[in-house]
């Protein structure tokens, strides 16, 4: 990698901007491409695939020179609103899956370091906390408290962000009531369709750990599926 190309890659990483290094394996020519960039529709698909899967894509030589697309993505992050029981196994599982986890909860009795060792805790009010986290397209937000005073402010910020996943714990009835409140707050149905509620894949989960598995699985599915 040439010095000027390396400098641009490092700048993109520092700015948490997704970028792909496209290398012509025959000539050695290198280009940097962002989401949506590419000389052809096929190349744009290769760039999108590399970024979505977080792994390189190598093309065959059938229709031209072989190319290697190396993605450099911002870190994956997961913001959990509510330091409740489900947040304990979910924060551990998400960390193992490669997410930088932040738990947001102003209630110090819940958001205690001894309950979440090694996890970043943010004790600010949820809307303030999420605004400070600068949510991007590599962020997942999951609300867990069932308390509108905590969940709704967080959802307001998340819905106005580029977060790739927004999910809410609670029954179908609870979620329907939540959507009514958010409509009254000014959010359109098209915006509210981004919210996964009740959050988690329908695998029959019951315990906090099983629910955490279903939630993380749905987050991963949203991230990786085309």
Question: In the prediction, which pLDDT does 5 show?
Answer: 87
127: pLDDT strictly greater than 80: yes
The reported pTM is: 0.92
Please tell me the predicted confidence (pLDDT) of residue 117.
95
Q: What percent of the chain has pLDDT over 90?
A: 92
Residues 76-224: name the CATH superfamily: NAD(P)-binding Rossmann-like Domain (3.40.50.720)
Q: What is the pLDDT of residue 121?
A: 98
Task: Give the 3-state secondary structure of residue 82.
Answer: coil
Average pLDDT over residues 9-17: 91
- The pLDDT-based confidence of 208 (bands split at 50, 70, 90) is very high
Residues in the chain: 226
Q: Is the pLDDT of residue 62 over 80?
A: no
For residue 17, cis peptide bond before it (omega within 30 degrees of 0): no
Q: Which pLDDT score is estimated for 80?
A: 98
Domain boundaries, the chain: 3-72, 76-224
Question: In whole angstroms, what is the distance from residue 167 CA to residue 141 CA?
Answer: 6
Looking at residue 3, what is its pLDDT?
Answer: 81
pLDDT higher than threshold 80 for residue 31: yes
């Amino acid at each position: 990698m040439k010095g000027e190309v390396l400098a641009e890659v490092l700048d993109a990483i520092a700015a948490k901007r997704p970028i792909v290094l496209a290398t012509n394996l025959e000539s050695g020519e290198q280009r940097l491409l962002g989401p949506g960039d590419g000389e052809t529709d096929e190349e744009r698909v290769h760039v999108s695939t590399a970024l979505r899967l977080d792994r390189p894509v190598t093309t065959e030589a059938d229709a031209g020179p072989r190319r290697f697309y190396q993605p450099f993505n911002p870190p994956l992050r997961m913001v959990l609103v509510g330091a409740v029981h489900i947040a304990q196994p979910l924060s551990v599982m998400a960390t193992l899956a490669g997410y930088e986890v932040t738990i947001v909860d102003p209630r110090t009795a819940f958001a205690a370091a001894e309950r979440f060792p090694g996890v970043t805790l943010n004790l600010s009010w949820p809307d303030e906390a999420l605004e400070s986290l600068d949510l991007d397209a590599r962020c997942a937000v999951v609300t867990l408290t069932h308390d509108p005073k905590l969940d709704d402010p967080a959802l307001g910020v998340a819905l106005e962000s580029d977060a790739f996943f927004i999910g809410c714990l609670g029954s179908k009835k609870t979620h329907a009531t939540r959507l009514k409140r958010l409509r009254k707050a000014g959010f359109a149905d098209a915006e509210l369709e981004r919210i996964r509620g009740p959050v988690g894949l329908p695998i029959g989960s019951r315990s906090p750990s099983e629910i955490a598995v279903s939630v993380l699985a749905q987050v991963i599915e949203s991230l990786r599926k085309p």
